[in-house]
Structure 1
């Protein structure tokens, strides 16, 4: 993560008088996003309406909120109900030969994108990437019989109509200064939360009507080179290790390692960072633990003592019951 980015993010969440200089740009940004949504609501923008329900799992803030683990939980929850589920994603940073592109587990992160590849490797779900998520949904339905589509992010992507909008918020950081880009971390004005179907707070009790809680629970260590899976007791309390995180909120990963009673030497990188063996050569020589999202980009050159931490979303019972009610409404015959 660059120092400029670090300072800007810190200003969004801790405050800085210089942000006032960005308010004219913020006002312009707000007008653009509000006009875009108004055109969608009025039916003036092209938008694909899929023949099956579409559930958008998105953010209103820039940065990580636990979206990928929540997508994985939703996939398994829908499958447990006997539903055939597929996923569409923008495929940020992916360079496929053509679009739309069906992601397969054996592909590279450079070709498929790190988050889509992680989701497919974990769940074997049918997943299509395309910056035009409407086109991705068409292609996915043409290749697979599905009952439901999950849109990985895409809250602000109105080329795909949706039946349910779920917004995830990092409870530890909240909405920062409640201002839109570039003066704050919001992709849309805070009032947008009033129109979504549910808000899920990562890591704390929600409290607000229509809001729910979920947590991210570490579950195992997996060796990048061999695929060997070990319990969290594999490293003893007090173990020093290098910790690598190229996610929206790297500190959350480092805090998780500390909560496991290890002593991480933190190495924060930009979200979706590209890695090489040389970039990850740290001193002193210690075991290295990274996020699963980073691991999909590092297996080809991993050292013997490189591991990734698997993390699972655990929503509260209230959200699971609410989501089941929504599925009954959207898919009464199922």
Structure 2
């Protein structure tokens, strides 16, 4: 079901959903107060912790931001560990440390993508992220990155990054589940240390920046903007690269929260729109039969290429052929103020407490 369709149903039943939304928001405020006051126990990691999360459900770019942070950490000589639920994966044990050759069905698509693009990082999958964090804390770790952690208050964090989409700043502003997509009401934004606004494919970033300033500036937290763009495509099997899809007939395959974003990326960044767009549910576990259906669609539409997102490629590649291509994505930031996101992060992480590294031969209970 598309976001517009969901919004339409929410508006149609607003008289029923409105009171439920207010009750849910009150419960979430009470929950947050219990954690922040210490009435409910929370765990302090033995090293610095950065939470990457959002106020709403759905895709706002958490994985690209986590990936950017891992690149940044590597450049700074920081040993980073990602704590993630691992949506879509079924690990044989917990916590589950993702390896380069982990099966997608065990690791989940996003954790496996993070591991393959950042082999130096530890990626731990466990719905109980405190348990995973304690496991990681027995080894050398300078930095914990808490994926989808804005509402995961059982883990204390040093930096709380709140990601927002253009919809969050517009029609979804302060519309709490079930009447909207927000997980908490607007009061929860006070917990953020910085706001990261995903400008997505909006053609007027100036408009988004203006709205963000109006809605967020009074909170007194820095506002940064980011965009995920494609700089060419690469063959998922051979690694062959192309700068553009211009003139290429291709089927687009997506199993993500915002499929329209990928379609816009193909048209805007790669120079061509898909002949056919096959949309699957977010985190769909692709099978051989799915690939056969995709190939059949490509052949019916005389398409020579099949394009999918990087996280879908880790699931499709095991039974795909050389028709499978994926965009080469990069994440770039801009700032509402004079300080860049990287400079702000360098400054903040520099003053965070670090865990002293134990000798390699020492074991911890």
Same fold per superposition (TM over 0.5): yes
Matched with 1:321 is 343
Equivalent of 2:277 in 253, 266, 285: 266
Matched with 1:284 is 301
Equivalent of 2:226 in 214, 218, 223: 214
Matched with 2:94 is 99
Q: CA deviation at 1:238?
A: 3.4
Q: Rg: which structure is higher? A: 2
Matched with 1:168 is 163
Comparing 114-123 with 23-32, greater Cα deviation is found at 23-32
* Contact 1:202-1:214 within 8 A present in 2 as well: yes
Q: CA deviation at 1:108?
A: 1.3
Task: Map residues 11-30 of structure 1 onto 2, 5 A cutoff.
Answer: 16-30=11-25
3-state SS of 2:137 partner? helix
Q: CA deviation at 1:280?
A: 2.1
Matched with 1:147 is 142
Comparing 312-321 with 108-117, greater Cα deviation is found at 312-321
Comparing 167-176 with 99-108, greater Cα deviation is found at 167-176
Q: CA deviation at 1:173?
A: 5.8
Q: CA deviation at 1:92?
A: 1.2
1: distance between equivalents of 2:16 and 2:167? 27
Deviations 1:51-95 (A, max 9, x none): 101100001111111111111111111221121111110111211
* Contact 2:81-2:141 within 8 A present in 1 as well: yes
Matched with 1:257 is 266
Q: CA deviation at 1:216?
A: 0.8
Deviations 1:19-44 (A, max 9, x none): 33212221232122112111101112
3-state SS of 1:77 partner? helix
Comparing 197-206 with 89-98, greater Cα deviation is found at 197-206
Q: Normalising by the residue count of structure 1, what TM-score does the alignment of the two structures yield?
A: 0.91
Deviations 1:216-240 (A, max 9, x none): 121342222x24130323x3x2323
2: distance between equivalents of 1:58 and 1:194? 14
* Contact 1:61-1:175 within 8 A present in 2 as well: no
3-state SS of 2:50 partner? strand
Deviations 1:142-201 (A, max 9, x none): 2x3011111111211112111110011123663533311111010111221122000111
1: distance between equivalents of 2:111 and 2:354? 29
Q: Closer, same or farther in 2 for the Cα pair 1:262/1:199, shift >3 Å?
A: same
2: distance between equivalents of 1:120 and 1:196? 27
Runs of 5+ unmatched residues, structure 1: none
Q: CA deviation at 1:306?
A: 1.0
Task: Map residues 73-152 of structure 1 onto 2, 5 A cutoff.
Answer: 73-124=68-119, 125-142=121-138, 144-152=139-147
2: distance between equivalents of 1:55 and 1:261? 36
Q: Closer, same or farther in 2 for the Cα pair 1:46/1:331, shift >3 Å?
A: closer
Matched with 2:317 is 299
Comparing 261-270 with 113-122, greater Cα deviation is found at 261-270
Alignment pair present for 1:311 and 2:323: no
2: distance between equivalents of 1:318 and 1:94? 35
3-state SS of 2:146 partner? strand
1: distance between equivalents of 2:241 and 2:319? 21
Runs of 5+ unmatched residues, structure 2: 200-204, 357-365
1: distance between equivalents of 2:8 and 2:194? 27
2: distance between equivalents of 1:253 and 1:100? 32
Comparing 253-262 with 22-31, greater Cα deviation is found at 22-31
